[in-house]
Chain A
Amino acid sequence: MGCVSCAGLVGNSSSAENEITLHLKEPTTIPIEAYSITPDLLLERDDSDIKKLPAYYGRRKVTIGDLFSVEGERSESIVVQGGLGHVKKIGMGMSRGRIIVKGDVGPHLGAYMQGGEIIVKGNAGDWAGANMEGGRVWIDGNAAHHVGAAYPGDKKGVNRGVIIIEGNAGSELGVAMRRGVIAVFGNTGDFTGAGMIAGTILVFGHLGKRAGAGMKRGSIAAFGTYDPLLPTYRFESIFQPVYIRFLIKRLRECGVPIPAKTEEQLFRRYSGDINMLGKGEILIHD
């Protein structure tokens, strides 16, 4: 394709020799806030400075070095591993580089991120990619609730960026989304895309109940099965949306495993939510 590259969807990765590896010393059920684990902070720091970066262990302020062993330095390519199910806020606000999480990870992964990419080779907790403004989050496994959603009190959620979930996602996926794309290859819970302002959510598994509740604009496309739509959605027409073809092609070019000929499907278009602006759409595979 002529002028557009995958820049932004596929980050430039440093070589393995130049990675920083952070290994959680002891798995724990005490919540850990690891908001310092971002390429932006680690890029200019050597091994000893990385260890001095702040973190929280429960409500106690500690350092990264207290919780993680650190190998490598001065890199924007980070690997984090070791029983991270209760480790929160990894990649929060990052704007560049790459984080690979080996295993499950806790909540608020990549919240407010502006660029770069995060790859989770496991499951992710609640609020992954919340209020994202750019970059990519790719979750190999399942994601919990409120993925790509706006935090309570925020009027707008995800503003740019791409979130890919190869497994299932919980409830309230993409709430108040303003821009960007979320693709879920498994099932979604209730209230997918509730309060969406714009943006696109693709669901290849089962679309859960009350999808698009309170949506103003935006698109939810269901390629598989779905729960009955809200009565505030009206059937409009059957057609093949050209935009979906564009989107699927772009995602495929960047390695997203969308089945062949998906883009050739016809869709039933439902507009709504008429409780709000009513200019959103839910596209159901016909």
Chain B
Amino acid sequence: MQINNVEIEDNFAEAFKMWGSRFIITAINERWAMTAAREVTGFSTSIIGCGCEAGIGGVLTCDQTPDGRPGVLVLIFTMSKKDMVKHLLLRLGQCIMTSPTSACYNDLEAEVKVKTGGKLRYFGDGFQSSKYLEKRRLWRVPVMDGEFVIEESFGMQKAVGGGNFLILADNQLNALAAAEAAVDAISKIPDVILPFPGGIVRSGSKIGSIYKGQMVSSNTAYCPGIRRQVDSALPEGVNSVMEIVIDGLNENVVRMATKVGILAATGPGVIGISAGNYGGKLGQYHFYLHEILGKA
């Protein structure tokens, strides 16, 4: 299959069951809502080393937020419910509660709930108060700048993590430009995040290593600089590869993001598009590129 003269490999991305949560941060203005959002999604590129994957889902207008202040939507993904409980508590407590003028509200109706606000309320040292309106409980925690408002419970649901595609280009600049175009296109898809820096990962990994005890190592099959020394998967002419990793609240949005991302990435200097997998033996989801792109 070719799109815009770019070869789309007949390959699939292997993705995994995860748990996802979505919440809204508001603040006195967009600057401070975004500050809190950047902090809470910091150091969250991969569950391998960071424990969770998180990203900003979009900027919200005053009409779109529960308290009518400017806001930012955040999504977070973990491998287990236990990890979600842990990371929500740590991140909301350390990164949002500490941020000037912030408030935090659940934005995911789900059967499974985590009482994150219900735990953070104890920071109020007995001076916190609860407000209940139409099945939503908020906690008001007295803090130095006024009050911190946080919803008692946050929803989490089964989600999909690790959807991906690889951009194979003739040089680094073209690979990066194509990846940036893909990131911009995917940013319009709701309920997905691209957890790596700027949405792009330059150091894709493989399972295993020659070193004992090291679980992952560089994806050598896609490293152009050593193509003659390994069992390379790269066609001739490829001198740089960038990967886009996609986490989403459901399969459909991951498919949609993969499709729009690939279509946007087929630009100048791009020789091929591939995808990363583990032979189909690990992940619960297989996203076949031809199938996704064939469904126009």
Contacts and interface: CB of A to CB of B under 8 A. Distances in A.
B147 A3 contact: no
B146 A240 contact: yes
Contacts of B64: 1-2
Interface residues of B, number: 29
B138 A246 contact: yes
A266 to B, nearest CB: 10
Dominant SS among interface residues on chain B: strand
A250 B133 contact: yes
Contacts of A3: 106-109, 155
A85 B129 CA distance: 39
A245 B69 contact: yes
Given A1-B64, A4-B136, A9-B134, A239 B69 contact: no
Contacts of A249: 66-68
B114 interface: no
Contacts of B96: none
B120 interface: no
Given A9-B134, A246-B138, A217 B67 contact: no
Contacts of B135: 4, 8
B56 interface: no
Interface in A158-199: 160, 162, 179-181, 198
Interface string B123-138: 0000101111111101
A250 B134 contact: yes
B66 A4 contact: yes
Contacts of A181: 133
Contacts of B245: none
Contacts of B67: 242, 245-246, 249
A263 interface: yes
A45 interface: no
A160 B147 CA distance: 24
Given A239-B147, A240-B146, A217 B129 contact: yes
Interface string B225-257: 000000000000000000000000000000000
Interface size class of A (residues with CB under 8 A): 20 to 34
A74 interface: no
B159 interface: no
Contacts, number: 79
Interface string A245-283: 111111000000000000100000000000000010000
A200 interface: yes
Nearest to B23: A2
Contacts of A248: 68
Nearest to B148: A242
Contact of B147 (A200, A242, A247, A263): A242
Contacts of A1: 64-66
Nearest to B102: A242
A162 B132 CA distance: 11
Interface string A1-23: 11110111100000000000000
Interface in A1-51: 1-4, 6-9
A26 B147 CA distance: 55
A202 B117 CA distance: 25
A103 interface: no
Interface of A: 1-4, 6-9, 160, 162, 179-181, 198, 200, 217, 219, 237, 239-243, 245-250, 263, 279
10 contacts: A2-B24, A3-B108, A3-B155, A8-B134, A162-B133, A181-B133, A198-B129, A246-B133, A246-B149, A248-B68
Given A4-B136, A9-B134, A250-B66, 14 more contacts: A2-B64, A4-B66, A4-B135, A162-B133, A198-B129, A198-B132, A217-B129, A219-B131, A242-B146, A245-B68, A246-B103, A246-B133, A247-B131, A249-B68
